[in-house]
Amino acid sequence: MKKPKKRNETRTPDVTGAGPPDWTPMFQAFREAFEWALDVAKQLARDYPEEVAAVERVRAFMRKRIAGETAQVPADDVLFTFALIIGAIERDLGPVGMLGPWFAPAMKLPSASDFWERSFPKSVTVHIATA
């Protein structure tokens, strides 16, 4: 009989060897998807050479990392390129929250009036005294 695992038990990955696991094979498997998404981002930025250059810096970074080489890229370039890709998804498929459970659902923030309590009745009858 197997010993039941505790819910919060720390699991160790099935990786042998010293040091952290090598993620390069996963990135190689997604190479075609990365290239396609970066092509979409480049197409959206096509009228702005400095934005195309940012996408291409991200592409060069990804290619080097997939090849197992060290590389660096400005975080602004990565965030900008990611925003272009999300923008393309929303343009083509609708808002990200509508795409399915793998994206975070849209968040509705309450308005200030949601916190107010009415201190007077909805209808008020006014009586005017006449002398």
Q: pLDDT tens across 29-71, in order?
A: 888 999 999 999 999 999 999 999 999 999 999 999 888 899 9
pLDDT (mean) for 93-122: 61
**Domain limits at 85?**
24-92
Output the CA angle 83-80-47, nearest 5 degrees: 95
Q: Of the spans 26-30, 44-48, 109-113, which averages the highest pLDDT?
A: 44-48
Residue 115 lies in a domain: no
The confidence score (pLDDT) of residue 25 equals 80
Residue 13 lies in a domain: no
Phi, psi of 10 (to 5 degrees): -75, 130
Residue 31 lies in a domain: yes
The structure tokens 């006449």 sit at: 130
Residue 6 lies in a domain: no
Residue 127 lies in a domain: no
pTM of the complete model beyond 0.75: no
Residue 15 lies in a domain: no
Overall number of domains in the chain: 1
- Over pLDDT 70: what percentage of the chain? 58
Q: Which contacts qualify for 87-94: CB closer than 8 Å, 24 or more apart?
A: 87/44, 88/40, 88/41, 88/44
Residue 99 lies in a domain: no
Residue 53 lies in a domain: yes
